[in-house]
Homo-oligomer: A and B are copies of this chain.
């Protein structure tokens, strides 16, 4: 980040990006002084960067409160992303079919460093907001989708990431024993799927299967969220696993 001696690194641009990244789910609108606090930049720098981003259409500004907000341009960037990632176009029609068949919430997840990111979401019943919108990141080891994608990698790599990648304790039942997670990943390799319960949210069952690239490694995972009140894990497998595997197999084409 703080790359010194890199003569090609343009720190002014990096500072501007810091402003954009200051916005997140708990910082939905920020004043100049908020931005100063969140970025650690000079007051003058923040003033200039925010002003420029506003003129360039990247930030909206409430004329009353003078606070900045993400603009529609942020969605246009997502649009460009969707076109650029070939997995998306291949997966989307299959996900729609799947969603239609099951009437449950279907997601496409991808690896993004040591997290997964949800890149497509088809919400089908009332779940909480964060679980309905794309772009959410979660630690890969905490999630069924992350584990099933890791399961397509060599053993050595699995042990390595299980030892080092971040974990969060999202619920009191979240699994944080790294050895057990490693075992869960290796079991996923045998099974071709991964199922979890109560990991990010209580009473949520999550079932995921990998979308394999030509080299056999996972490019993505299709994941389905089911209420743990209505079903137990065995029922979920019986009811949803076959269509899930059909879906992921179909995406390979």
* A residues lining the B interface (CB < 8 Å): 1, 3, 6, 8-10, 12-17, 20, 23-26, 28-29, 47-49, 51-53, 55-56, 58, 69-72, 74-85, 88-89, 92-93, 96, 100, 103, 110, 112, 117, 119, 122-126, 129, 132-137
Whole-angstrom distance between the alpha carbons of A29 and B85 in the complex? 9
The CA of A92 and the CA of B132, in the complex, are separated in Å by 8
- Do the beta carbons of B135 and A77 come within 8 Å of each other? yes
Flag if B112 contacts A125 (CB, 8 Å): no
Choose from B13, B76, B93 the contact partner of A135 (Cβ within 8 Å). B76
Q: Is the Cβ of B70 less than 8 Å from the Cβ of A96? A: no
A70 near B76 with CB under 8 A, answer no
Query: Is the Cβ of A8 less than 8 Å from the Cβ of B52?
Result: yes
**Contact A76:B137 (CB < 8 A) given known A13-B52, A70-B81:** yes
User: Is B124 within 8 A of A83, CB to CB?
Assistant: no
B117 touches A75 (CB 8 A): yes
Contacts of A48 in B (CB 8 A): 8-10
| Cβ A133 vs Cβ B51 within 8 A | no
